[in-house]
Structure 1
Amino acid sequence: MNEDGSDTPRPSGEVPEFRRIRSEPLPPQRESPPRRRTPDGREPAWLPSAAARRRRAALLLSGFLSMLVLLASGTAWSVTGWLSGQLQRYDVFAGLLEGDRPAAGPHGALNFLVIGSDDRSGVAPEQRSELGVGHVEGRRSDTIMLVHLDHDRDHITVVGIPRDSWVHIPGHGPHKINAAYSLGGPGLVVQTVESATGVRVDHYVEVDFTGFVEVVDALGGITVCLPEAIHDDKAHLFLEAGTHRVDGVQALAFARTRKSAHGDLDRIDRQQQVLAALLERALDSRTLSDPARFTRFLETMLGSVTVDESLDTAALNQLGAQLRSIGLDDVTFTQVPVDRIDFWTPTGEVAVTWHDQHAVELFEAIAGDRPIPSGAPPAEADFPAPEEVTVEVYNGTGIPGLGARLRSELLESGFRVPATAGNWTRQDLAETLVRYSPDRQDAAHLLLESIPNSRPEEDATLGGRVQVVAGAGHTGVAVPASAASPAHQQPVDVGGRDTVHTRTAADNVCR
């Protein structure tokens, strides 16, 4: 899988064109739309083309949530009619059969599907390189978020859906979820998400984030936090660990890079962090109290938003009235609990699979308008490094070469195995044994976490030694990312994301 998701198969048929109807009333107290032109009529050299600005699909939800929250303020209340007219609209739900859709949720609750396209058509090669967005053709949903507004309108829940999730796309079979857009447009994206989650989608919002860089810069930049350094040549991002004030270009790269241990899962975390930072800046009194700054912010943001036809002026007015008291503490972020991030598909791609039980629990809570279940924040286990663990290996089965294979896997993972594998006293073991003396529990813990379906056996006579006896069910060795050395990290750990963990927008803001 490459940086831009190019492993997603291209549809063989022609991708349908989606008709979007847009009206363009003028903003309040302005005689004409602003024009960013030089005296001779040309766009300034520093301004990317309109096509390039339309392709900055990084933070899909920021504009939408900012729009709702700003509508709830007294400053924004007078411009809802103009705001509604600026939005592009598309009949997303046409053709969806009522009998094939999930049941509607409790009265008053609303679910928004927010996506963005990674379409790069019309962007010059040098512009693609400058923005670090790659050169993959076609259209896919670069990021997918399910946004739930509870019936009391006092809380918003944002669920990030990994774009590489392996799901069933109606009419097309198993695919990565981000292929639904290219295969059938917004309607098929809605149908796919509803089928995978069991949650009925009430409204659709698509954001290509025209002028995202300008929005961040207009707000004076945002603050982001990094637990570890990121150096990504392709995204043009070079940040050390710590807190950074970033401009629009850096914020775009920060939201898109995959150069971290858990790829798309970390990417969702970063996008939610940037969203929280944008919300904080957008809610800043200096933005709300300055009409010119507020209008520029909305103009830049709204030109890149497409919504379903039912999200009209009346609906926006109603939402604005209902969300007047929403603040950063009332916006909760989470993402779908995952089981594997290294699932090899039948077509030879690497995809993400969801955790059956915990994902179902999450989406059932969303569909039922109930508080989502949440576990404790994931913590890194205190493991020794594999290089600090010396192991004796034995074959406890009649399978020729199984002990040698296990020894090779342990060596490749960084463990010290000085002797060749021997034969155990029994040859009928079904499960792999991890045998250890009482003073080597830390080493045994690491081995048990690294060898699936293994079981512990404490033996006080071992005198500081650790033994691994291969059983017939042995499948391999995968060291947890928190313990693996850089040379032996295994891309199988999901970083504690197999259960639901939540953070508010206030928690995500760097202080």
Structure 2
Amino acid sequence: MHDPGEEEDAGVLVGGDAYGGVRLTPSRARRPFRRSAKARRRNVLVAGFLSTCVLVTTGVVWATPRQIGTVDAGVGESVARGGAENILLVGVDKRDDLTRQQQNRLKLGREVGQRTDTMMVIHLSEDHRQVTVVSLPRDTWTTIPGQGEHKINSAYQFGGPKLAKQTVEAVTGLRINRYIEVNILGFIDVVDSLGGVTVCTPVPIDDQKIALNLAAGTHQLDGVQALLYARTRATARSDLDRIDRQQQVISALLNRALSAETLSNPAKLASFVNSTLGTVKVDPDDGLVDLAVQMRDVSLQNVRFVDVPLADVNYRAPTGESAVLWDKPAAKDLFTKIDNDQDVTKPTPTVVATPSAKPSAIAPGSVTLKVKNGTLITGLGARTKAGLVAYGFKVPDEPGNTDKKDYKRTLIRYPEGQEAAARVVAAAVPGAELKKADVKGIEVIVGSDQPKIAKQKTSSDATPKPAVTPTTKTAMQNICKQ
């Protein structure tokens, strides 16, 4: 066991793995662990936030204890100092390097490969006082650049941190400024260094797969129990309930870390900071000290957790997998607000349908279409045809394929004289591009934007309605009330 009096405890190693590392801070002999209360609080907040947001979730990267490692996610040119920032935090389910004893202890199984078992986007406001945490459901069905349609947690398996970052940027429209990975066993040490966390479960949990059995009510959990509590999917809403539990544990751990009991106890504080810093891997160009300074004014009341609006929580993917689909308009509204550094809790009035002076004289049932798949996504043409038929259009032929496979935006092509009918089709395919072409009839070329076919609107639908407001909670609201 490492002696806490040795000088390594006070140092931070970058790139500390089998390839060696470089110490960035002086040893304990040259810099005693003595800081002002404000500095201690600042360091605890950033350390706790960076680790707990992902550590509470699931299996993550195996890292050498008491080191800060580096991982290249390609964000070097995206780091914005002093302004609003978007941080991608991931917990990577990497089991290959764990011993069987470690796997058994943590109930991780022995599957090989790597997937991000948790992905969170953390937005730090421009004034550095507000933090918004958006949990991305790991079963999100989306397009992974260069790989087609998959669950979002497969991006890391296909292309590591860089592809995970690119995928999140593509699905959210945000630019990621920082990337952070965290260690699973380090989470256990972090929780135990604070004496555990208190959680409240509204329903009993009996997960025989991971040997977790909790009655409804309040529980004090140690590190292993807290990890299992945040990992289990053995409740009614599966992964969505798990996200709620992760947020609850994050809030409880931050509350414990920032309590007077911790801040006034040098031994406990040092143990917490050391165990926390040992969990983090960052992009080589990242700066945790710089981030700590920027987060110095953040309080628990200003840490807000937001859920991505969902359209279908029981989506059956073409591969047969169970997945979830985002409510694209509502999700776009959420991430646009984040990108503009706006309050995500305020609804944005939108018009969901534009009434014309008189109803269209062309009924969908009088319009015949052809559907072609313009991507490499298997089954996309068939799904689009099904949606158009449900809307009322006639699609007599089976979907075909275009010669080009790189259509990004869905295209509606129409011949001379059929523009009015094509506009009726466009009303059913939001976001599609209309284009007159040398074709015999109306064609829908489906792009990788994977349009969701609209439902027919009635006149009552033409009134302005507020956009879906995402579910939000502050860290204080997540804390268990005893």
Matches within 5 A, 1:492-511: 499-511=469-481
Q: Is the contact made by 1:145 and 1:159 (CA closer than 8 Å) also made in structure 2?
A: yes
Matched, 1:66 2:51: no
Deviates more, 1:156-165 or 1:344-353: 344-353
Match of 2:310 among 338, 341, 345: 338
Give the TM-score, by structure 1 length. Answer: 0.58
Please list the CA deviations of residues 451-483 of structure 1 after superposition, one character each: whole Å capped at 9, or x if unmatched: xxxxxxxxxxxxxxxxxxxxxxxxxxxxxxxxx
Alpha carbons of structure 1 residues 350 and 278: separation in structure 2 relative to 1, 3 Å: same
Q: Residue 379 of structure 2 aligns with which residue?
A: none
Q: Residue 167 of structure 1 aligns with which residue?
A: 142
Rounded to whole Å, the distance in 2 between the matches of 1:191 and 1:201 is 9
Deviates more, 1:278-287 or 1:266-275: 278-287
Rounded to whole Å, the distance in 2 between the matches of 1:26 and 1:191 is 32
Q: Secondary structure at the match of 1:158?
A: strand
Q: Secondary structure at the match of 1:29?
A: coil
Rounded to whole Å, the distance in 2 between the matches of 1:362 and 1:284 is 32
Matched, 1:268 2:268: no
Q: Residue 404 of structure 1 aligns with which residue?
A: none
Please state how far the C-alpha of 1:280 moved relative to its aligned partner.
Answer: 0.6
Please state how far the C-alpha of 1:246 moved relative to its aligned partner.
Answer: 1.1
- Letter aligned with residue 478 of structure 2: N
Match of 1:356 among 328, 332, 341: 328
Rounded to whole Å, the distance in 2 between the matches of 1:302 and 1:364 is 32
Q: Is the contact made by 2:95 and 2:110 (CA closer than 8 Å) also made in structure 1?
A: yes
- Letter aligned with residue 69 of structure 2: Q
Please state how far the C-alpha of 1:91 moved relative to its aligned partner.
Answer: 2.9
Q: Residue 372 of structure 1 aligns with which residue?
A: 344
Please state how far the C-alpha of 1:126 moved relative to its aligned partner.
Answer: 4.2
Q: Which runs of 5+ in 2 are unaligned?
A: 1-16, 32-43, 53-65, 348-391, 393-467
Q: Residue 200 of structure 2 aligns with which residue?
A: 225
Q: Which runs of 5+ in 1 are unaligned?
A: 1-17, 33-61, 71-84, 376-429, 431-497
Q: Is the contact made by 2:49 and 2:254 (CA closer than 8 Å) also made in structure 1?
A: no
Q: Secondary structure at the match of 2:114?
A: coil
Please state how far the C-alpha of 1:187 moved relative to its aligned partner.
Answer: 0.5
Please state how far the C-alpha of 1:124 moved relative to its aligned partner.
Answer: 3.1
Matches within 5 A, 1:244-263: 244-263=219-238
Matched, 1:147 2:111: no
Q: Is the contact made by 2:96 and 2:111 (CA closer than 8 Å) also made in structure 1?
A: no
Rounded to whole Å, the distance in 2 between the matches of 1:203 and 1:337 is 24
- Letter aligned with residue 320 of structure 2: G
Alpha carbons of structure 1 residues 226 and 30: separation in structure 2 relative to 1, 3 Å: farther
Q: Is the contact made by 2:47 and 2:277 (CA closer than 8 Å) also made in structure 1?
A: no
Please state how far the C-alpha of 1:236 moved relative to its aligned partner.
Answer: 1.5
Rounded to whole Å, the distance in 2 between the matches of 1:246 and 1:149 is 30
Alpha carbons of structure 1 residues 249 and 217: separation in structure 2 relative to 1, 3 Å: same
Please list the CA deviations of residues 269-294 of structure 1 after superposition, one character each: whole Å capped at 9, or x if unmatched: 10010000110111122322333322
Q: Residue 398 of structure 1 aligns with which residue?
A: none
Please state how far the C-alpha of 1:69 moved relative to its aligned partner.
Answer: 11
Paired-residue identity, %:
44
Matched, 1:87 2:68: yes
Please list the CA deviations of residues 301-356 of structure 1 after superposition, one character each: whole Å capped at 9, or x if unmatched: 222211112223xxx44433332232110100012111112211111111111011
Rounded to whole Å, the distance in 2 between the matches of 1:238 and 1:265 is 19
Q: Residue 197 of structure 1 aligns with which residue?
A: 172
The alignment covers a number of residue pairs equal to: 321
Matches within 5 A, 1:26-37: 29=28
Rounded to whole Å, the distance in 2 between the matches of 1:165 and 1:20 is 35
Rounded to whole Å, the distance in 1 between the matches of 2:91 and 2:335 is 21
Alpha carbons of structure 1 residues 86 and 284: separation in structure 2 relative to 1, 3 Å: same
Rounded to whole Å, the distance in 2 between the matches of 1:360 and 1:20 is 42
Q: Residue 179 of structure 1 aligns with which residue?
A: 154
Please state how far the C-alpha of 1:247 moved relative to its aligned partner.
Answer: 1.2
Please state how far the C-alpha of 1:27 moved relative to its aligned partner.
Answer: 7.2
Rounded to whole Å, the distance in 2 between the matches of 1:212 and 1:341 is 29
Q: Secondary structure at the match of 1:210?
A: helix
Matched, 1:294 2:283: no
Structure number with the higher strand fraction is 2
Matched, 1:324 2:264: no
Matches within 5 A, 1:10-159: 22-24=21-23, 29=28, 66=48, 86-93=67-74, 108-159=83-134
Matches within 5 A, 1:210-221: 210-221=185-196
- Letter aligned with residue 372 of structure 1: V
Q: Residue 281 of structure 2 aligns with which residue?
A: 306
Please state how far the C-alpha of 1:179 moved relative to its aligned partner.
Answer: 0.5
- Letter aligned with residue 293 of structure 2: A
Rounded to whole Å, the distance in 2 between the matches of 1:248 and 1:31 is 32
